Structure 1
Amino acid sequence: MMREWRRRRAVRRVEPGDGRPLKRFRWWQVPFRALFHLRLTHTDGRHEVYSVDVRHGQNQSSGNVRARLYLGGRLHSQSRLPAVLPVPGGVVEVRMSGFGLKRCHYVTDDGAEHQLTPDPASAEGRRARLDRSHPALSRCVATFSAIVLVAAVAVLVPQLVEQLTAPAAIAQHTGRFHSPVDLPKWANIAIGLATAAASTERALRLRYSRLLDGAAG
C-alpha cells in the first residue's frame, strides 16, 4: 500500500513536455548524464521509442535533478526524482542513489519489470558493451565490486559505531563500543575511494543494495 501511495504521489509530479528535441549524447557527458531507451510495440504493429534522459551531475538535494521522457526524440514529459513517468501499458520508474541511477525500469500494468536499454555512448552503455563482449571479465569486475563493498562495511561500520558511542551522554546509556579495527586515516580514505568506485560500477549496471551501496553512500 505504501508503494502504491508513493507511486501515485510521484505521478502527480509529472509535468508535460514542450516538445524540445533530445540532444545527442556527447563523450564529455559520460560522468554526469544517463540516457536510456524503451521501444514499445502497439497492438496495431506501430513502434514507438521512448528515451529517458537524466542529468545527474546536478545537486540531488536541491531537487533540480529531473528525469525527462522523450517520445520520438521530442520532450514528452518530465518529473523530478524519484520519477514515475506514464507510458502506454505501464510506467517508467527512475530513481537515483548517491553514485548514479539505481532504477530505470518499465513496469507494466500487470507488474512485469523490464530494465531500459542504455544508450551506447553513455557510461551505462559502455559497461553493458563490456558485459556482452567480455562476459568473463565483466563477472570478475562485478564480483570484485561486491567484495570491496562487503569488506568496506566490515571495516568502516565498527569504526563509525565507536565514534557514535564515544560521547559521554551516549555512552552512559549504551556503553562505549570499541572497534576491533583501528586503521590510520590514509587507509580509511583509500577504502572510502575504493567503495565509491565499487558502488559507481554497480550503479552502471543499475544494481543497488540498501546494506552495501546504501552504507557506502
Structure 2
Amino acid sequence: MDHDDQPDDRHTHAARPPPSPLWRTMFRRRKISKRLAKVQPGDRSALKDFRLWQGLHRSLFYLDDAVEPQQPGPEGAAGSAGTAEPAEPTPVYAVDVHHLADELSDQIGEEGAKDKKVTSPAALYRDGVQVHRSDLPATFPVPGGVVDVAISMYGLTRMHYVLDDGTERTLRPDRTSLEGLRARFGRRFPRTSSAIGAVAVVVLLVGLVVAAPLALEMVTRLDIVSDRFGTFTSPINLPAWANTTLLVAGILAATERALTLRNHWLVDLDTTGTALG
C-alpha cells in the first residue's frame, strides 16, 4: 500500500465524548429529531462520480463501516455445523453535498412529486443508490446512529457519523474532492499540515480581536444604546491595505478549517450560526 493510501487516523478512529449535561443531551436529541423530520425519500438515482472541477461546489464522503444490527439466525443453526449463512457484505453509504443547490421545497414544491429527480442540497446513498435527501443542515438515519451534515459559507462544518451512544467519527472524503486532497496532503506532510492549521487558527483569532471592538462601536452608535450607555470608539484603526490583507487571510483560514472539518464555537464564530439550523 502506498503511503498516500494509508488511512487517515482522523477519519477512522471514533472518539467517545465525556458524559454530556442533561440540557445538552436534550438539545442534541431535539436538533436531531427536527432535522430527521425534514428528510425526504430519495429518488433512487445513481450516485455520480466526483469530478475534480466540481470541487468548489460539491463534497462527497463515504461511510464504509456503519454498525449493522445483528440479525438472528435460523432456529437450531447454533448447534449445526456448516449451516451458517455467509455474512452479507457491509453496505457502503455516501453523502453527496451540493453547496449551491436550491432548497428542495423550491425545486419540487411543498406538495411536489417526492420522486422527482433534482439536485439535492444533501443526499444519502446506499451502495450507490439515493435513499434519502434533505435540505441543509441535515441528519440522515443510518444503521447504528445518524450522519450529521452542516455547512457554512466557507464549506462543511460537520460530516460525522454519530452513534446512538454519542460516539462520533468523521466520514471518509472522496480522494478527488478538495477535502480528500487536503486529507492526503495532511498524511504526506503532517508537520506542514499542522503548521497550516495553527496559522489558520491564529489568523481567525486576530480577525476576531480586530472585529470585536469595531462591532461594539457600531452597536453603541445606535440611539437606543448611546442614550443609555454612551458611545464606544474602537482603539484599533487599521489602514485599508491591512484590512484587505486580514480579510483575504481570514477567508483562506476559514476555508482551510472547512476542508479539514474543524470547527470551534469561538475560533469559527462567524460560521457557527449557519450550522445550528
TM-score by length of 1: 0.92
Amino acid at match of 1:133: R
- 1:182 aligned residue: 237
Q: Please list every run of 5 or more consecutive structure 1 residues that lacks an aligned counterpart in the other structure.
A: none
Q: Which amino acid aligns with 1:153?
A: L
* 1:153 maps onto 2:219 in alignment: no
Q: Which residue of 2 aligns with 1:112?
A: 167
Any idea what the Cα deviations from partners look like across 1:11-63, whole Å, max 9, x if unmatched? 11111112111111111111111110001264545211100000113468x98
2:64 is paired with a residue of what secondary structure? Answer: strand
1:18 and 2:43 matched: yes
2:57 aligned with 1:32, yes or no?
A: yes
- Contact 2:101–2:121 (Cα < 8 Å) also in 1: no
Counterpart among 14, 23, 28 of residue 3 in structure 1: 28
Alignment partners' CA distance in 2, 1:22 and 1:8: 26
Q: Which residue of 2 aligns with 1:211?
A: 266
CA RMSD of aligned residues (A): 2.0
Q: Identity rate of aligned residues, in percent?
A: 41
State the TM-score, normalized to the length of structure 2: 0.73
Q: Distance in 2 between matches of 1:83 and 1:168?
A: 40
Instruction: Give the distance between the partners of 1:157 and 1:192, measured in 2 at CA.
Output: 14
Question: What CA distance in whole angstroms lies between the structure 1 residues aligned with 2:271 and 2:95?
Answer: 26
More strand by proportion, 1 or 2?
A: 1
Largest Rg, 1 or 2: 2
Query: Is there any run of 5+ residues in structure 2 with no aligned partner, and where?
Result: 1-25, 71-86, 108-119, 273-277
Aligned residues: 216
Tell me: CA distance 1:162–1:147, structure 2 relative to 1, closer, same or farther (3 Å): same
**2:91 partner amino acid:** E
After TM superposition, the structure 1 = structure 2 runs for residues 63-102 of structure 1, keeping only pairs within 5 Å, are: 66-102=121-157
8 Å contact kept, 2:44–2:129: yes
Q: 1:51 and 2:94 equivalent?
A: yes
Amino acid at match of 2:216: V
Structure 1 CA distance, aligned partners of 2:217 and 2:128?
Answer: 53
Tell me, in whole angstroms, the C-alpha distance in 2 between the residues paired with 1:34 and 1:11.
21
Q: CA–CA distance in 2 between the matches of 1:183 and 1:13?
A: 45
1:143 alignment counterpart: 198
Alpha-carbon distance between aligned partners in 1 of 2:38 and 2:270, rounded to the nearest angstrom: 29
Q: Distance in 2 between matches of 1:130 and 1:106?
A: 23
- For 1:14 and 1:121, the matched residues in 2 are separated by 27
